[in-house]
Amino acid sequence: MALSALMTAASVFVCVIAILGLQAGNKSAGIGVGMSMLGAGLFGFGVVVSARTLQVGALLLDRNGFQVTLFGRNQYLWAEVSDFRPYRFSSSSGVQFDAVRPRSRYISAANAWLGYSNDRLSDTYGLEAEELADLMESWQSAALDGHGDKQSLASAISG
């Protein structure tokens, strides 16, 4: 992230110098303006992507459903989700599930076509993916059986 921020600042600096060159009558400085703006855009995008990976999300489970928070909030009701199962992709893991109202229509349609669930949690919130999938199944079962207000975190993880 620091490198992207440094390169963005350098691109902006070069852009300012090129604009001063244009004002001084150097017609070829326009290429410098264009290239430095391109660099600032690309490296600026790198800063945004890096900042997003550093952002910590939150998962809140309750008797009605669960809420995922990361650059917005997504609420899911237990009655509208099913089939929690762990997934692994390269070096990352998480929990996938089927939702009546997935976060993204297009991605969910492609995932369903490929044989995957139509939504997922991309973080495991400090648990193994299998543990989180079991925890969510446990909370869902307790909530749908009418025992959601008595569900404890410790018993859901161990049991």
pLDDT per residue of the chain (159 residues) written in tens, 0 to 9: 788 888 888 889 988 998 999 899 988 888 888 988 998 898 888 888 777 666 667 889 998 999 888 767 788 999 999 989 998 877 778 888 888 877 666 666 776 776 677 888 878 888 999 999 999 999 999 998 876 555 544 434 333
Query: What are the domain boundaries of the chain?
Result: 2-54, 58-158
Whose CA is closest to 18, among 6, 7, 26?
A: 26
Rounded Cα–Cα distance for residues 159 and 74 (Å): 27
Tell me what pLDDT residue 68 has.
Answer: 86
Contact, 63 vs 148, CB < 8 A?
yes
Contact, 137 vs 84, CB < 8 A?
yes
| Tokens standing for residue 108 | 């969910």
Tell me what pLDDT residue 46 has.
Answer: 84
CA 2 to chain centre: 21
